[in-house]
Amino acid sequence: MVEVTVTPQSSLADRPVQVQARGLSPSQLVTLRASLTDEHGECFQSRAFFRADGAGEVDPGRHAALGGSYAGIWPMGLFWFLQPDTLFRRLVKRDVAGSPFRVRLEVFDGARLVIGPEDQPLASCEAERWYVAPGMQRVPIREGRVRGALFLPP
């Protein structure tokens, strides 16, 4: 049975996570895709093609991506190379304290440049990427023309 996991499943956005796909056939060519929808409904995606090792596993931290959104060994590549479906959009988190970005990770059979709604993943999971740690206090800053926020730890 194929599975894709992210460890830890919930983390701060600046902390590394480990993505792994298991249960594949040895040397199977697969596409790992990361996708999220931001607070304005804009979709962002990245994908990378991998060849499973002899144990039927793919780990972007140990195995080089053969192509897609990036190539080479990039443990966080699926998160770092997220691109908008609509040109000229930027991935910006507005509500940093209230909710995380929910990143869906999927594994597909073969190298897929385009993944349509009819394509079913072999496995999927979801990662939460938070921008503020629990207990942080947000203090708005307004001084003259300066605007900002100060985040104080508990």
69, 29, 119, 36: CA torsion to nearest 10: -30
* Residue 78, helix vs strand vs coil: helix
pLDDT per residue, tens digit, the chain (154 aa), is 999 999 999 999 999 999 999 999 999 999 999 999 999 999 999 999 999 999 999 999 999 999 999 999 999 999 999 999 999 999 989 888 889 999 999 999 999 888 888 899 999 999 999 999 988 998 999 999 999 989 898 8
CB count within 10 Å of CB 127 equals 23
Alpha-carbon span 21 to 59, nearest angstrom: 7
pLDDT value at position 120? 94
Burial class (CB in 10 A: 0-12, 13-18, 19+), 106: buried
Residue 18 CA: distances (Å) to CA of 7, 9, 114, 121, 151: 5, 9, 25, 19, 27
Pick the CATH number of 3-152 from 3.40.462.20, 3.40.50.10860, 2.60.40.2240, 1.10.3720.10: 2.60.40.2240
Full-model pTM: 0.89
Terminal CA-CA length for the chain: 43
pLDDT value at position 54? 97
pLDDT value at position 96? 86
